[in-house]
A and B are shown apart, each in its own frame.
Chain A
Amino acid sequence: MNAVANHSERKERNHERVEQQVWLSPEVNIFETPEGYVLEGEMPGVTKSGLEITLEGNTLTIVGHRHEADFGANPVYRESRAGSFRRVFELDPAIETSKINAKMEQGVLKLHLPKAEKVKPRKIQVTD
């Protein structure tokens, strides 16, 4: 994920405006280790079943659907934003896309994106 694509993100956003859908952009952390990348995204109120992760070529789209808690009470004061989450990323071509793994824990999505074997740094033994 060298270049986390802002272009495609912006294009998508404008497109969404037309469709009148309100998407919230989740805050993310992206770490890189020798084995791969880890993406953490904040999506409070999203359960495992509301998660929709799609991969098209090198474009990874994360969608987190959530539903308004309806418990028959009247809202008095509100700061949280209604809507579901969506964000698009351009993946590093070195990622082994078949091994992407997703986990949802207390409203935080954790995506493990392992690098393909051939690009992992390798120690080479020196023989006499």
Chain B
Amino acid sequence: MTLTRWQRPQLWDAARHLSSLREEIDRLFESPFSLFENGSQPFSGGWVPAMDLYEDKDNVFVRAEVPGMKKDEIDISLHEGVLTLSGERKLEKEYDKAASHRLERFVGRFQRSITLPHPVDATKVRAAYKDGILAVTLPKAEEAKPKQISVSAE
């Protein structure tokens, strides 16, 4: 038998669920499908760009949808097998004083980390930013590559 510490039921948790439910209902009335149509997550309260991970024999690929940024506003770091992407998007000064009819795009910081499925060679990592998509290519470390073992018949 295992002993589990008794925990007071967390009220704030229930409250959070309630408020997110209300938002969800509001949103459903506004636009029935939009909830499921966007890659970024609607209730997180911040900017959570969609991230994808691919791999082939030699590389791990990470893609993130971060439209409308400058190349040097994006930070990429790799530490102990965890890749972290971060950056900040600012509202364009040009429209500071303009009246806004819709403001749906996220403004502010994002940070996302992903644990890589294999050890990679940190010195050979490449990143490109094109059409609003950040693509990071991480070559697998030699020891992580699949090896062919030949069986010799006797």
- Interface positions of A (Cβ within 8 A of B): 1-2, 4, 6, 9-10, 13, 23-25, 27-33, 37-38, 40, 42-47, 69, 71-81, 105-108
Contact = CB atoms under 8 A, between A and B. Distances in A.
Given A30-B101, A79-B50, 10 more contacts: A4-B101, A25-B37, A27-B104, A28-B105, A37-B101, A69-B133, A77-B53, A80-B39, A80-B65, A108-B68
Interface of B: 30-34, 37-40, 50-56, 59, 61, 63, 65-69, 95, 98-106, 114, 117, 129-133, 135
B68 A76 contact: no
Nearest to A77: B53
A45 B131 contact: yes
A30 B101 CA distance: 5
Nearest to B106: A27
Contact of B54 (A25, A28, A44, A75): A75
B56 A27 contact: no
A82 B66 CA distance: 16
B52 A79 contact: yes
26 contacts: A4-B101, A6-B30, A9-B31, A10-B32, A24-B37, A25-B37, A27-B40, A28-B104, A29-B95, A29-B104, A31-B100, A32-B99, A32-B100, A38-B98, A45-B65, A45-B132, A71-B61, A73-B59, A73-B61, A74-B56, A75-B54, A80-B63, A81-B37, A81-B39, A107-B133, A108-B67
B50 A76 contact: no
